[in-house]
Amino acid sequence: MKKVTGIGGIFFKTKDPDKMKEWYQKNLGLVTNEYGSVFEFRKSEKPDQKAYSVWSPFKEDTTYFEPSEKEFMINYRVENIEQLVDKLQKEGVIICDTIETFEYGKFVHILDPENNKIELWEPVDEVFQSLYEGKTTK
């Protein structure tokens, strides 16, 4: 069973997310949106299919990263999230919440041994493609 298949996103805290997005757009060419930037790439096992990862600045007072006290959170792309969560629970990994399902995928949060919150995402890339076609950083 595959577990992590790639990086789904990098999330970090900042004083002014809009200013940060503007700086990255101006100076590094990121195509930004209300959440940050969506990066488009090709799946190595299916190069005809697009896949996506997200770069997203959050306000420094966000509670989304809790219980972690870190300034960042990494999102990993996974397959078979239900099976993975079951296996992680059996291994004693702390599961922070239940799997949530959205049109663009399923999400759950876990903690690593140093209390870093990790977001696991089983994506539905076709929905991302319809939402962000022509609006991605390549």
Please give the pLDDT value at position 25. 96
CB 117 within 8 A of CB 96: yes
Show me where the domains of the chain are located: 4-132
Q: Which residues contact 91 (CB under 8 A, 6 or more apart)?
A: none
Q: Of 34, 32, 62, 53, which Cα lies nearest the Cα of 125? A: 53
One pLDDT digit (tens) per residue for the chain, 138 residues: 678 999 999 999 999 999 999 999 999 999 999 999 999 998 888 889 899 999 999 999 999 999 999 999 999 999 999 999 999 999 999 999 999 999 999 999 999 999 999 999 999 989 888 888 888 998
- The rounded distance, in Å, linking the Cα atoms of 108 and 110 is 7
Looking at residue 119, its amino acid is: E
Tell me the whole-structure pTM to 2 decimals.
Answer: 0.90
Q: Which residues contact 98 (CB under 8 A, 6 or more apart)?
A: 108
Q: Which residues contact 31 (CB under 8 A, 6 or more apart)?
A: 25, 37, 38, 135, 136, 137
Is it true that domain 4-132 has CATH number 3.10.180.10?
yes
Looking at residue 7, its amino acid is: I
